[in-house]
Amino acid sequence: MELFFAPACGVLLAAAVYLLLSHNLMRIVLGLLLLSNGVNLSLYVAGRMGRVIPPILQEGQAASTAMANPLPQALILTAIVISFALMLFTAVLFERAYRALATLDTNSMREVEPVASTGSRREAA
């Protein structure tokens, strides 16, 4: 199982890095989405996988290695919820930035760090 999922993490993360290197805000937000999913999957793989039974103990029953490890799943659940909220915020922020700055190109978003030769745009205006 790990042999199959480990390359899948790799592919997701590689695609995420490729998209994050772009200058386009749309691609960046998709890259962030893939990044968080790739990381969540790698978290799952790191907790070991295999053909296992649910970790539900009856009274008097002892835990065994045939049972799934519930902790990574709890961790991923937390991480998914957090990344969902952060993704929503990011999408809204990028949309607002697009409306305010009228561009999706990160190279032309220079309000805070104006290009030195032209001086501060704010002062010129």
Partner 1 sequence: MTPDLLIALPLLVPLFTLAVCGVLIRSPRAQLAVSLAGSVLLLTAAIALFCATYDGTVVSTQFGSWHAPFGITFVADLLSAAMVLITGIMAVTVSLYIIVSTEGANGSSSRFHPLYHGLLLGVTGAFLTGDIFTLYICFEVMLISSFGLLVIENTSEQLDGGVKYVTLNLVATALLLMSVGFLYGLTGTLNMADLSRTILTVSNQGLVVTLSVLFLIAFGTKAAAFPLFFWLPAAYPAASIPVMTIFAALLTKVGVYALLRVLTLIFSDQLHVLGPFIGVIAAFTMVTGVLGAASHFDTRRILSFHIISQIGYMLIGLAIATPLAIAGSILYIIHHIVVKANLFLISGAIQQAGGSFDLKALGGLKRREPLLAALFLIPAMSLAGVPPLSGFWAKFVLIQATVQDGAFIIAAIALMVGLLTLYSMVKIWNEAFWKAPPDAARSAGVIGHRIPVSRRWGTLLPMVSLAAITLSIGFFPEPFLGYSVRAAEQLLNPNAYTNAVLGDTTFTALPEIEERMR
Nearest CA among 29, 34, 26, 47 for reference residue 8: 34
Q: Which of 22, 24, 73, 90 binds partner 1 (CB under 8 A)?
A: 90
Residue 35 as a binder of partner 1 (CB under 8 A): the answer is yes
Identity at 96, one-letter amino acid code: R
Identity at 107, one-letter amino acid code: N
Q: Which of 14, 21, 96, 105 binds partner 1 (CB under 8 A)?
A: 96
- Is residue 11 within 8 A of residue 44, CB to CB? The reply is no
Please, which residue, 44 or 59, has the CB nearer to partner 1? 44
Which helix (H) or strand (E) segment holds residue 53: the answer is none
Structure tokens at 41: 């999957």
- In sequence order, which residues have a C-beta less than 8 Å from that of residue 111 and are 6 or more positions away? 101, 121, 122
Least distance in angstroms from the C-beta of 117 to partner 1: 13
Residues touching partner 1, count (CB under 8 A): 43
- In sequence order, which residues have a C-beta less than 8 Å from that of residue 102 and are 6 or more positions away? none
Q: Which of 5, 15, 20, 22 binds partner 1 (CB under 8 A)?
A: 20
- Positions touching partner 1 (CB under 8 A) are 20, 25, 28, 32, 35-36, 39-40, 42-43, 45-48, 63-65, 69, 71-72, 75, 78-79, 82, 85-86, 89-90, 93-94, 96-97, 100-101, 106, 109-113, 120, 122-123
